[in-house]
A and B are shown apart, each in its own frame.
Chain A
Amino acid sequence: MIVAEQKPLEEIKGLLAEAKRVLVVGCGTCVTVCFAGGEKEAGILATSLRMASKIDGQPKDVTHTTVQRQCEWEYIDSLGDQIREADIVLSVGCGVGVQALVERFPEAWVVPGLNTAFMGMPTEQGVWEERCAACGSCILGLTGGICPIARCAKQLLNGPCGGSQNGVCEISKDLPCAWQLIYDRLKSQNRLHLITQIQPPKDWSTSRDGGPRRITREDLRLAAEVSE
């Protein structure tokens, strides 16, 4: 899932500035399950903003709504009337959600209420950890299902490095060495020969280095058929 966390209320108040009518838009997918921007959190944020603005002496009319997915047109189309009535839209979806709203409603002023952090999973209740860096060229099949791109501080393809001490990364005592994890996993599966294969330099053009990415599936497109 995409993991995000809410911006401090003070920063959000700054983003809203003088706007009187505020629409907080939550998202019912990833940010709901990481407790950052679902229906409940959107409600808490809207209530907090109403109270804070009243205390500040400039009461705002803050309402909130939540869509199932903020990153698909079908789900946000229904927001048109509410968005047109608002001076500003505070999205508590991920960065994709914010941009989807802007693209669909170009006249609306949309600001983010969250900082989108990473793609990860909850490792225990209340704790989320990064698991995938979306590098566009997956090597999990060689590393025992543990990603050195997302979980090694140096993104090493041939680890571990000298900073691995007692299974812990040198940058933090709370961060296990990804390559230690990989070694342990491969050893337990009798696949240690995989770690002896030297990996060549990675082609980062499939990652952010190649610029914004796009995937096209011609078999799924409808537009091409219509235009013919």
Chain B
Amino acid sequence: MGENAPARIQIVAYCCHYCAYAAADLAGVLRLRYPPDMRIVEIPCTGRLDVLEVLHAFEHGADGVMVAGCLEGDCHFQAGNLNARRRVARVKNLLTAIGLEPERIEMFNLSSAMGRQFADIAVQMSQQTAGLGPSPLKSANGRTSPTGPAGERIGD
């Protein structure tokens, strides 16, 4: 990327192993096109979603975060996706207090057969985040925050 090129929107997508990640895989197998803004992080279950980890994603330059778990009622671990939904709601409140738009994080539910829907929500999330513009936490050159998880300074 050139020195003066505008930074691309970056979205971190936390996808559960059993459904959403498999749906993303299917979207690939089906050769569906969706914006290349996604950075998919596979997690065993969205119940594993950690509020602090999500905040770090934002702190280190993510413009949006997408959490995708199994369909409600179909969580491989019974209720992990319901717990994740509550955590996403908490992050929305935290983002508002911090001064970011709560729409920068959204929760979605997919089955592993919903490859097309995965591509659709990727487009939706990308457009929604692009509409909000780049995160004010992202420096002009698109680089991330110089602090690590405990606030310690990390490499340039």
Contact = CB atoms under 8 A, between A and B. Distances in A.
Interface in B108-156: 136-137, 145, 147, 149-152
Contact of A63 (B51, B52, B151): B151
B16 to A, nearest CB: 21
Contacts, number: 57
B63 interface: no
A153 interface: no
Most chain B CB within 10 A, of A54, A64, A65, is at A54
Contact-residue size bin, chain B (C-beta under 8 Å from the other chain): 10 to 19
A192 interface: no
A51 B100 contact: yes
B56 interface: yes
Contacts of A182: none
B137 A54 contact: yes
A44 B58 contact: no
Contacts of A51: 55, 58-59, 98-100, 137
B149 A50 contact: no
B151 A61 contact: yes
Most chain B CB within 10 A, of A8, A43, A47, A62, is at A47
A62 B149 CA distance: 10
Contacts of B147: 50, 61
B55 A63 contact: no
B97 interface: yes
List the 7 closest pairs (A to B, CB-CB), nearest first: A63-B151, A9-B97, A55-B99, A47-B55, A52-B98, A51-B98, A43-B52
Interface of A: 8-10, 40, 43-44, 46-48, 50-52, 54-56, 61-65
Interface of B: 51-52, 55-56, 58-59, 94, 97-100, 136-137, 145, 147, 149-152
